[in-house]
Amino acid sequence: MGLGCVLSGDAIRAAIAASKPLLRDFRNIDSQVQPNGFDLTLASIARHAGPGSVGVSNADRQLPDIDELAFDQDGWVTLETGCFHIVYNEIVALPLTLMALGRPRSTLGRIGASIHTAVWDAGYEGRSTSLLTVHNPHGIRLQQHARVMQLVFMTILEPGEHGYTGVYQGENI
């Protein structure tokens, strides 16, 4: 693996097979490993049920309450226009030599939705969340465990001594 490069599908498979796997709790490695990333799948979806806040310090951070939405008997949920909190099935465990960026799968854009993510810092481990925004005025339908976002892993040119130690470390595990 070269410095400052994107991991290939083969490199991702090797990192999953390592003694400390890069990813676990995935649904189907053959459909989720892509040539230049790994598709994360939808575990749950919730509606925001209150305000949130971000201040200068973590003490001023308040996440909004959320109301989890139920999938129907066939595993589908219908979403109207708006913002939703999603959780992925997969647990990501980044070594100090890797970071990741998440991008929505192109089909989401084609049906009128987007996913907004943050950077997955080196050293982060957890079952992450993102913001799903439905723009389509007619709404969309999503099936539980659908592949909705692709993580692209990049090597760190000069890894630091310490990785992510923020409040979301170990989330949803």
Spatial contact of 99 and 121, defined as CB atoms under 8 Å apart: yes
- The pLDDT of residue 63 is 95
Nearest to 146 by CA among 58, 39, 3, 50: 39
Instruction: Indicate the class that CATH gives domain 9-155.
Output: mainly beta
Nearest to 24 by CA among 127, 118, 124: 127
pLDDT, tens digit, 9 for 90 and up, residues 144-171: 999 999 999 999 988 889 999 999 999 9
Domain ranges for the chain: 9-155
- The pLDDT of residue 58 is 87
Question: Which pTM does this prediction carry?
Answer: 0.94
Cα separation, 68 vs 105, whole angstroms: 23
Cα separation, 66 vs 73, whole angstroms: 22
Q: Phi and psi for 94 in degrees, rounded to 5?
A: -85, 125
| E-assigned strand segments in 49-111 | 66-68, 76-79, 82-88, 91-93, 98-104
- The pLDDT of residue 28 is 98
* Secondary structure class of 110 (helix, strand, coil): helix
- The pLDDT of residue 3 is 52
- The pLDDT of residue 4 is 61
pLDDT, tens digit, 9 for 90 and up, residues 22-49: 999 999 999 999 999 999 999 999 999 9
Give me the chain's average pLDDT, please.
96
Cα separation, 101 vs 6, whole angstroms: 10
